[in-house]
Structure 1
């Protein structure tokens, strides 16, 4: 399950709307080992395409060095689909290289609504997962007893 703050969801949707009709892409980094998305990092779609996204290799190298220096990992890798549902394409599955990341897709095919879904993609196998949008991680669902995190 992906648990993510509402402000991060709003930022992904805003980025997707801003870059429409091209696909938007980016990363939400979080502390290594936490599975908690924290730092929103919109990226440039180097392909500048309405049907495909590609991270600029120099930007991606800088991002990974920065995350490494901050003890962060890419918790969420997101991109938008501008004319289709929020489901990974065969190309999306083929280029997915982070087995522990949540791959979030935002569809902007409807100008009034958006569709947001999350997937795990490992060795080309796509598995959809539930998304819990929370106001704050402090009171996010933490288990059967729902004890808030300290």
Structure 2
């Protein structure tokens, strides 16, 4: 089994990024929040959190503002980044992709993270891969340093 394959079946994410997503979700509650965590292309390492505006301003749905999304994607491209994580919150339902979430999932390489804000459904974030309408939950490993992960990723890219 190759190292790169092992890395891709779970989301490894810095605890500070999780804290930032949770803070954004609680700040904007009851509206769903959304955003992206960018990282170097082909690295699978989320590094730079980019909170985005929920153009739908809804408690049950999120939609990136098209102009903002275009700007963010262009900036990522210029920086040699890609969307490693696409996140949003669920305010009244479990942290599992809705039919709409699956329908609009357009980044097969990304981890889709859902942040729950309703205590009735738990407070643990969950991560999914969504490809061709198929939803696969993946493990999340929170860490306090990327040093070892970065070295593993660089080894996998060279191999």
Q: Distance in 2 between matches of 1:141 and 1:58?
A: 32
Is 1:4–1:134's contact at 8 Å kept on the other side of the alignment? yes
Structure 2: gaps spanning 5 or more residues = 1-9, 153-159
Q: Secondary structure at the match of 2:125?
A: strand
Residue 87 of structure 1: aligned partner: 96
CA RMSD after TM alignment = 1.6
Q: Distance in 1 between matches of 2:30 and 2:148?
A: 36
Is 1:108–1:115's contact at 8 Å kept on the other side of the alignment? no
Structure 1 segments of 4+ aligned residues over 2 angstroms from their partners: 139-143
Which structure 2 residues correspond to residues 1-150 of structure 1 after superposition, within 5 A? 1-110=10-119, 114-140=123-149
Instruction: Report the CA distance between 1:140 and its aligned residue.
Output: 4.6
Q: Distance in 2 between matches of 1:75 and 1:129?
A: 14
Aligned residues: 142
**CA offsets 1:5-36 (integer angstroms, 9 cap, x no match):** 00000000101111100000000000001000
Residue 146 of structure 1: aligned partner: none
TM norm structure 1: 0.91
Is 2:45–2:150's contact at 8 Å kept on the other side of the alignment? no
Q: Distance in 1 between matches of 2:41 and 2:51?
A: 19
TM norm structure 2: 0.86
